[in-house]
Amino acid sequence: MKKNIILILNFIVTIPIYCSVGGLDTSFNPSGINTGTPGTVITAPAVFGATSAASALAIALQSNGKIVAGGTSHNPSGFAIAVYNTDGSLDTTFNGTGTVTNSFAAQVNGIAVQNDNKIVGVGTNNSLNGGFSIARYNTNGTLDTTFNGTGMVTTNFSSSFGALSRAVATSVLIQPIDQKIVVAGTLSTTSPNLEQFLIARYTTTGALDTSFNGTGFINITPSTFGTFTRAEVTAVSLQSDGKIIVTGNVSTGAPGNSSIALARLNANGTLDTTFNPGVGAGFNGVEVTSASAFGSGFQLVQSLALSIQNDNKIITAGVIEDSLFNESFAIARYNPDGTLDTTFNGTGTQVTQAGITFSQANGVGIQSTGKIVVAGEADDISGNTVVALARYNTDGTLDLTFGTNGIVITPPSSFNAVSEAIAQGLVIQTDDKIVIAGFSDSITTPASASSFALARYIGSITPTPIVSCLTNLNQAIIEKYRIV
């Protein structure tokens, strides 16, 4: 029997193989170092010089295919960035270890890569009236001192909005032509007690760009969207015409009250009134989508991620809650003019339950085919939190060729974790492979501390190197027949 099986294996590895779309790409960390599972990577807190936790909150790609993940580490706390080679190994040309930390701010909430592969991370500092905190790194992991002289900038907006105002940067983009840096986040003020959109643009040297709205920044108050008291930014992106799209959520602050908010800015930083034109609040540069647009029985919806199609249609992804407090993926597509695109699932919206009672999309990307991929988290039947992905056709229907009925679940065990694995963001490679970054808990010391967690998935049906597809199959056959 052993001889026959070996002959079968030898035959299998001589023919072309088409990997299952949505399956883990086992050429990513093929040895399974630290995780035991090819296709996934974890980077423990100790690699960042921390003792208790490390979590990836954002992800980007360099032009050479290297993967950049940003987030936070604890004890000591601060910015944490890791750069990975295309095979999933840490890039030791970056700061000698593949990682860097910086205590000048609490965490990286958003990350972007310039044309020269320099890395820009944004977040906020730890002071009571904190401001937008931005750091730029050279490709070797050192701070880029051509950026504000130190490689770091913190912009405190208290002189404009009051001594107790606080600004938290949540997202960043690099304008492709002039490489100016657009940072979006949430401004909190005490007088009046409001949360509002705040968008700032910086020159390549780290100064506020005063050609942007005359000051370098613009705030959009909740009342611009309607009778709201809170407007929080979650993501920012750029259309091909240079106009800036910002998404987030608006609410009155009451429980069970949240709607998707969009705003579009001209390249000069002013509200683009051709976006969702109309009369009164909620129009003329902004758009609000309530939970009712997704169907009956829903009470709140939030946008947590944003992507722009080549035709400038806008895609948001996030979470929606029904009256029984079950939560599901919520995806919406808008026409360039800000109206819901009814060619997408008939309504412009889509709801998908990827778990048992809970799923939330934290990232979204668009493949070269136009298919839409979202990634986030869901619960499983054992109550664990798992990485969850879903893929949609261009018409908004679930793509049944992806995973199982359009959904892929990666359990904590694939990350050498106990009960939690979460995708916080995703990027699409040029070969349509899907890379997620987030965090997972640990079964090693320190117990339950989180680690950076990454995974890469097959994104298209193309002939793939045998090692990417057959490692698990061969091992299964070997185990089945006890080949030694």
pLDDT digits (tens, 9 = 90+) for 386-396: 999 999 999 99
Q: Considering the domain boundaries, does residue 184 fall inside one?
A: yes
Q: Considering the domain boundaries, does residue 307 fall inside one?
A: yes
Q: Considering the domain boundaries, does residue 478 fall inside one?
A: no
CA 38 to chain centre: 22
Residue 34 confidence (pLDDT) above 90: no
Residue 271 confidence (pLDDT) above 70: yes
Q: Tokens standing for 20?
A: 């299952």
- Is residue 26 classed as helix, strand or coil in its secondary structure? coil
The pLDDT tens digits for 317-328 are: 999 999 999 999
Least Cα distance to 321 among 288, 361, 358, 350 occurs for 358
Residue 445 confidence (pLDDT) above 70: no
Its sign, for the CA torsion 268, 278, 350, 378, is positive
Residue 19 confidence (pLDDT) above 70: no
End-to-end CA distance of the chain: 12
Residue 4 confidence (pLDDT) above 50: no
- Rounded mean pLDDT, 111-115: 98
Q: Considering the domain boundaries, does residue 76 fall inside one?
A: yes
**210: which DSSP letter?**
T
**In the prediction, which pLDDT does 105 show?**
84
Number of separate helices (H) and strands (E) present in the chain? 3, 28
- Residue 459's domain spans which residues? 24-471
Higher pLDDT pick, 126 / 269: 269
- Rounded mean pLDDT, 299-319: 98
Determine the Cα–Cα distance for residues 162 and 416; give it in Å rounded to an integer: 47
Its sign, for the CA torsion 228, 234, 239, 241, is positive
Q: Considering the domain boundaries, does residue 148 fall inside one?
A: yes
Q: Considering the domain boundaries, does residue 17 fall inside one?
A: no
* The pTM of the whole model exceeds 0.85: yes
The pLDDT tens digits for 394-429 are: 999 999 999 999 999 999 999 999 899 999 999 999
Higher pLDDT pick, 13 / 311: 311
Residue 419 one-letter amino acid: S
C-alpha atoms less than 13 angstroms from C-alpha of 8 in its C-beta half-sphere? 13
The pLDDT tens digits for 149-161 are: 999 999 999 888 9
Find where tokens 């229907």 sit: 397
- Is residue 12 classed as helix, strand or coil in its secondary structure? helix
Higher pLDDT pick, 10 / 292: 292
- Rounded mean pLDDT, 58-66: 98
Determine the Cα–Cα distance for residues 355 and 12; give it in Å rounded to an integer: 35
**In the prediction, which pLDDT does 193 show?**
82
The pLDDT tens digits for 209-226 are: 999 999 999 999 999 999
Query: Cα angle vertex 196, ends 194, 200, to 5°?
Result: 140
- Is residue 97 classed as helix, strand or coil in its secondary structure? coil
Q: Considering the domain boundaries, does residue 18 fall inside one?
A: no
Comparing 80-94, 189-203, 451-465, the range with the smallest average pLDDT is 451-465
DSSP conformation letters of 109-141: EEEEE-TT--EEEEEE-SSTT--EEEEEE-TTS
Domain count, the chain: 1
Q: Tokens standing for 407?
A: 């959904």
> Mean of the per-residue pLDDT values for the chain?
90
Residue 459 confidence (pLDDT) above 80: yes
Are 155 and 167 within 8 A, CB to CB? yes
**In the prediction, which pLDDT does 483 show?**
33
**In the prediction, which pLDDT does 128 show?**
64
Phi-psi category of 432—alpha, beta or left, where left has phi over 0 and alpha has psi -120 to 50?
A: left
| CB count in 10 Å sphere of residue 464 | 22
- What CATH number does the domain containing 102 carry? 2.130.10.10
What is the pLDDT confidence band of residue 462, given thresholds at 50, 70 and 90? Answer: low
What is the pLDDT confidence band of residue 305, given thresholds at 50, 70 and 90? Answer: very high
**36: which DSSP letter?**
S
Q: Considering the domain boundaries, does residue 57 fall inside one?
A: yes
Its sign, for the CA torsion 113, 409, 326, 383, is negative
Comparing 36-50, 54-68, 261-275, 458-472, the range with the smallest average pLDDT is 458-472
Residue 85 one-letter amino acid: N
